[in-house]
């Protein structure tokens, strides 16, 4: 039997009450307060304060709809053995049935580029809660994991591939995590050097 405790420590065991509690917990957790008007205006003006870093050619490449070869390469390089989303389709199915599905897949991707949207179905996710430790009755110890549909995975990977060549010049060198060719351990080394200099 599933058991959770609310913020007051009260037990919740009924399925409907658990679902309501989980919904309200994560709604509160991920809700943001409204942005004050002055701050909102500052954010709107921020792009005009940044110099142009992307060339016209790079912009053209970023916006260019993928062709059949790029899409095939993307499918070939997507990681295997990943949990599917609501569509139930793992990447292995697309690879095995590429001859039958490739044309339809290309049509979907190019339509998404043309219309600048992928539709509600493909932008949704199935959220699974995975416990972080043995204290499962406290919802703070559960990690939400989003299982995305195959169409979303394809589009996001293509966008990431288009961006990877220009990201290094858009992100300061001090930002070392999650960028190809950089490592978060660089910050640890830098911190060690700074401490050595401070103690010298």
Q: What is the pLDDT of residues 56-81, one digit of tens each?
A: 898 888 889 999 999 999 999 999 99
CB contact set of 183 (below 8 Å; sequence gap of 6+):
176, 177
First to last CA, the chain: 60
- SS3 for 65? coil
DSSP-derived letter for residue 194 is H
CB of 110 closer than 8 Å to CB of 65:
yes
Most confident segment among 4-8, 22-26, 32-36, 73-77: 73-77
Q: Calculate Rg over the CA atoms of the chain.
A: 23
What's the pLDDT tens digit per position in 134-166? 888 999 899 889 999 999 999 999 998 988 888
What is the C-alpha separation between 116 and 130, in angstroms, rounded? 33
pLDDT band per the 50, 70, 90 thresholds, residue 111: very high
Residue 147: phi and psi, rounded to 5, are: -100, 115
CB contact set of 189 (below 8 Å; sequence gap of 6+):
none
Task: Please state whether 189 falls in left (phi above 0), alpha (psi between -120 and 50) or beta.
Answer: alpha
The stretches of 46-147 forming alpha helices (DSSP H) are: 56-63, 68-77, 91-96, 98-115, 119-123
Residue 13: phi and psi, rounded to 5, are: -125, -25
CB of 84 closer than 8 Å to CB of 90:
yes
- Rounded to the nearest integer, the mean pLDDT of the chain is 83
Confidence check: pLDDT of 125 > 90: no
């Amino acid at each position: 039997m599933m058991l959770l405790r609310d913020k007051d420590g009260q037990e919740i065991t009924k399925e409907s009450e658990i679902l309501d509690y989980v919904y309200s917990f994560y709604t509160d957790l991920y809700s943001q307060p409204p942005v004050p008007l002055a701050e909102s205006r500052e954010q709107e003006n921020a792009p005009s304060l940044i110099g142009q870093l992307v060339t016209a050619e790079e912009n053209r490449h970023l916006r260019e709809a993928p062709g059949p070869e790029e899409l095939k390469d993307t499918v070939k390089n997507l990681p295997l053995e990943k949990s599917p989303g609501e569509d139930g389709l793992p990447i292995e199915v697309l690879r095995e049935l590429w001859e039958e599905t490739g044309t339809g897949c290309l049509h979907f991707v190019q339509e998404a580029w043309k219309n600048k949207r992928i539709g509600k179905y493909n932008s949704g996710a199935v959220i699974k809660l995975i416990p972080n430790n043995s204290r499962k009755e406290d919802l703070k110890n559960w990690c939400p994991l989003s299982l995305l549909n195959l169409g979303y995975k394809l589009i996001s990977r293509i966008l990431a591939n288009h961006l990877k060549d220009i990201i290094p010049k858009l992100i300061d060198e001090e930002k070392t995590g999650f960028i190809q060719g950089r490592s978060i351990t660089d910050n640890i080394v830098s911190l060690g050097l700074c401490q050595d200099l401070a103690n010298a």
